[in-house]
Structure 1
Amino acid sequence: MQSNLMRPAVATASMVMAALAAGAPHAHRHQLMWVLHALVHGEQDDIAEECLDVVRGGSWILYEEICSGRSIEAASYAYEMLELFPEEDARLKSVQRVARENLSYDLR
């Protein structure tokens, strides 16, 4: 995936969040989290910010991914996206303490 975002990136972020909320199969969740991670870290700040707003609206999905223990990679992508929300700092630190074994070593 390119880091040079285009307008459809926001719609893509919405569709990925919807798929995750609907309970996407475990085999696909890691890749869906990777796509979201790439979209919110894209080079076009305005589009990346819009993607981030989409993700912010479903932050519970990211917390669920961290706590589920399904995939360390998916949980780590979710954690790194939540780090972009200053308002989630205290909650994220609490979740990190409880679910640290579900995260990659550098995020524990």
Structure 2
Amino acid sequence: MVGQVVLAEISRYDWGKMTCGCMESAEHVPRDFLAALGGAPPERVGEGWADNHVYIQSNLMAPAVATASMVAAALADPLIPLMWRRSLIEVLSALCFGEQDDVAEACQETARGCKWSLYEEIGSGRMIDAAAYAFELLMAFPEEKERRGFFQERFRMNLPQDLRSENFDVHRGDW
């Protein structure tokens, strides 16, 4: 079950006019996503709804931005099972750091809109790997450097060792 915000965000896009990575219409992507949410996340992130449909390896397909919006809405939805958060953030990261710069930048703009969901993941302490993906995704937003550094220090035990402030300085100018 998903909330109305996710369904509304899905309806904003004409998925049928986008070509999926499987060379069919992308209208199956949100349908497959919603069906997948009814079970456990697949072993391979995005399998069955994003991987080889919205992105193929690091190549972004036509429905990438729409999918980023759908995933961002899902991150804000309290009805989405918590076990999905790592997978959702990892898919969002794949979309934001894909090879097609213009599409990746549009996905980053979408992710920028869900920054508080990403910070919440870091602060929650639920899953260290989900917090790591959230932190790395926040690295795409230079304007978040100060806040990101604060959260990095404040919630250091929620991050993997390599992302803690003593090992990774977010205040350096070359990130």
1:98 counterpart = 2:154: yes
Structure with more of its chain in helix, by fraction? 1
1:71 counterpart = 2:127: yes
Structure 1: which amino acid aligns with 2:158?
A: N
Counterparts of 1:105 and 1:93, CA distance in 2? 15
Of 55, 70, 85, the residue aligned with 1:15 is 70
* Cα RMSD after superposing both structures: 0.8
Q: Which runs of 4+ in 1 moved over 2 A?
A: none
- Does 1 or 2 have the higher relative contact order (CA < 8 Å, sep 6+)? 1
- Counterpart mapping for 1:6-85 below 5 A: 6-23=61-78, 24-85=80-141
Please give the secondary structure, in 2, of the residue aligned with 1:87. Answer: helix
User: TM-score w.r.t. structure 1 length?
Assistant: 0.96
Aligned residues: 108
Cα offset, 1:27, TM superposition: 1.0
* Contiguous gaps of at least 5 residues in structure 1: none
User: TM-score w.r.t. structure 2 length?
Assistant: 0.60
Please give the secondary structure, in 2, of the residue aligned with 1:94. Answer: helix
Question: Identity of counterpart residues, as a percentage?
Answer: 58
Counterparts of 2:108 and 2:93, CA distance in 1? 9
* Contiguous gaps of at least 5 residues in structure 2: 1-50, 52-56, 165-175
Structure ID, larger Rg? 2
1:52-76 deviation line (CA, Å, top 9, x unaligned)? 0000011111001100111101100
